[in-house]
Structure 1
Amino acid sequence: MRTLDSHLHLWDPEVLTYSWLEGPLAGRFAAEEIESARIDGSTEERAIFVQAGTAVDDELDEVRWVAGQAERLGVVGIVAGARLDRGTDTTVHLESLTAEPLVVGVRHILQDEPDAVALSSAFVTGAREVAAHGWAFDACVRSWQLPDVARLSAAIPELRMVLDHLGKPAVGTAHAPLAPTAEWERDLAELARHPQVYCKVSGLPAEAGGDWSLAQLEPFLDTAADVFGPERLMWGTDWPVSAVGPAGTDAAPDAVPDAPSTYQPTARSRWADAVSTWADSRGIDRTALFHDTAATFYRL
Structure 2
Amino acid sequence: MGSLRDVFWTKQSAGESMSDRVAPGRAAPDVRFYLPAPLLRSLVTSYYVVDAPGPLADFTHPEWGNIRFLLVGDMRFGSPDGHDMTPPPAPAVIFGPTDRTRRFDSRGGLTIGIGLTPIGWLSLIGSDASKAANAILPLGDELGTPGEALRQTLAAAQDDAAMVAILDALLMARRPEPSRYHDAVAKVQQALLDGKADQVAELAEAVEMEQRTLHRVCRTVFGFSPVRLLRRQRFLRTLAKVRDALDQPLGQLIDSQYYDQAHFNRDFKAYMGMTPMTYFGTPREVMRRAAEQRNALLGAPVQGLHIPRK
Shorter-chain TM-score category? 0.3 to 0.5
Query: What's the TM-score once normalised by structure 1's chain length?
Result: 0.32
Query: 1 or 2 for the larger relative contact order (CA 8 Å, sep ≥6)?
Result: 2
Query: What's the TM-score once normalised by structure 2's chain length?
Result: 0.32
* Structure showing greater Rg: 2
